[in-house]
Chains A and B, each alone.
Chain A
Amino acid sequence: MFESAELGHEVDKATWKKEQPVLREDLLAAQFELLEKNAFPVVILVAGVDGSGRGETVNLLNAWMDPRTIETHGLELPSGEEQRFPPMWRYWRVLPPRGKIGILFGSWYTAPILGRVEGKLKSGALESSIGEINRFERMLADEGVLLLKFWFHLGPRLGALRAVRRFRGDLRARASADEPWPRPMDRRRGKRRALSEPHGRKGPARGRATAAR
């Protein structure tokens, strides 16, 4: 299922150095035009396995682009207050207006995925959740939203390695614009893994706070 993401994709330092400034300029230009024209909302869903660099990447985006029109939200388990409202309510709250960008850690996918992995959701219920999600996203698209969804993947071996290193506090969790990124991935293919996004922990990668609280 994740085979094409476990091929050992890699970017060498020289390419990185060359492409980075062009990318940054393009991103800023697009963001500026988006704001000027009040064109459409941009919603970015960020999901993936632990240690895959979601937090670092989003911090990088915020450093490269103008953070004034980007709002980043960590939508972990719903709080007691949030549970009084229908589940979709807290996602609707954080949807950005036209011209702005919203980045969501955790989304309307999280509960159905976890429910299925933990066995609380039968496959029929998962199907119907996916149907609802598809209709919801269809509506966002019809309303003009640009919806981008990213799954950050690590093969099982590298994932385990990073988890251990993070636990021991070895891994540098800070990502700044000048550090080499991304790290080369493990070339060995792991076994097929079940879909998972650990949710019982306190949040994404340690280091600089990623969620706007």
Chain B
Amino acid sequence: MRRRLDSEPGEDAPSVLPAEPVGGRNVIVSLDLTQRLEEDEYEKRLEKLQGRLNQLSRHKKFKRTGIVAVFEGNDAAGKGGAIRRVTAALDARHYRVHRVAAPTDEEKSHSYLWRFWRRIPPLGHVGIFDRSWYGRVLVERVEGFASGADWNRAYGEIRDFETSLHDHGLVVVKFWLAISSEEQFRRFKDREKTGYKRFKLTEEDWRNREKWDEYVQAISDMVDRTSTDAAPWTLVEAEDKLWARIKVLETICDRVEERLESL
């Protein structure tokens, strides 16, 4: 203890990742954001999928598995709306939604992943994360809240973390909800105008727009480095909210069905 207390802190380590997309392309800019659904098609498919998810969650083998669902995406991409369409299909006693924002003092005095380990659901339950442990390699990386040493090691730590969830039997689904910069601007403007939505918009949201390209790079690195067989990323074209919600529900149903069949 004495040695550590008396020692000096070390220097920061430089990043090992490229700063720009190679050849101008990455998984984010290559998304086809024109995907959309008609309203009545959406209503039909929504009902079927919510029914399917409900059945799966009440399957007798579901208590030997569970779901960890991570929702990340641009501001105003529609994470909240997608989450609501998922929880509508589930029994409230068996799911929890965790909104992840700036860390509390207690969370800051523990290791980074501690705050997430506390919220992992037991078997038979569902844990939904509205923003997540990916904060370190997204906002903390871009805004410099985390040192280079910290966010560079985070990719491997996240892979290990998700693998241990998977090995225990949980289904880990991760969604990146993507919208274009123009669409985000339109939605921000709408929020400003609408009384009950104004609280959803902050100075920070506008500031983040200035770093759009850096975020694109960070997101692309995140997908490359943390998409694994145990926990693959699903990129959701969220320009059309209806399309996005259906894609989210379908993915969850498919993955849970796959797991239940293997049990």
Contact = CB atoms under 8 A, between A and B. Distances in A.
Given A85-B168, A86-B120, A93-B117, A34 B1 contact: yes
Name the interface size band of chain A: 20 to 34
A65 to B, nearest CB: 11
Contacts of B118: 92-93
Nearest to A26: B2
Interface in A66-116: 81, 84-89, 92-93, 95, 97-99
B155 to A, nearest CB: 12
B160 A136 contact: yes
B8 interface: no
B17 to A, nearest CB: 18
B106 A97 contact: yes
Which of A34, A41, A85 has the most C-beta atoms of chain B within 10 angstroms of its own C-beta?
A: A85
Contacts of A92: 113-114, 117-118
Interface stretch (A10-18, A140-148, A159-167, A184-192): A140-148
Nearest to B9: A144
A106 B156 CA distance: 26
Interface in A12-39: 26, 30-31, 33-34, 37-39
Contacts of A99: 109
Nearest to A83: B123
B202 interface: no
B164 A86 contact: yes
A94 to B, nearest CB: 11
Nearest to B121: A85
Contact of A135 (B1, B4, B5, B156): B156
B194 interface: no
A33 B7 CA distance: 13
Contacts of B160: 132, 135-136, 139
A98 B117 CA distance: 17
Given A26-B2, A40-B4, A97-B106, A140 B111 contact: yes
Interface of A: 26, 30-31, 33-34, 37-42, 81, 84-89, 92-93, 95, 97-99, 132, 135-136, 139-140, 142-146
17 contacts: A34-B1, A41-B110, A85-B122, A86-B120, A87-B164, A89-B117, A92-B113, A92-B114, A92-B117, A92-B118, A97-B109, A97-B110, A98-B109, A132-B164, A135-B160, A143-B112, A146-B4
Interface of B: 1-2, 4-5, 106, 109-114, 117-118, 120, 122-124, 149-150, 153, 156-157, 160, 164-165, 167-168, 170
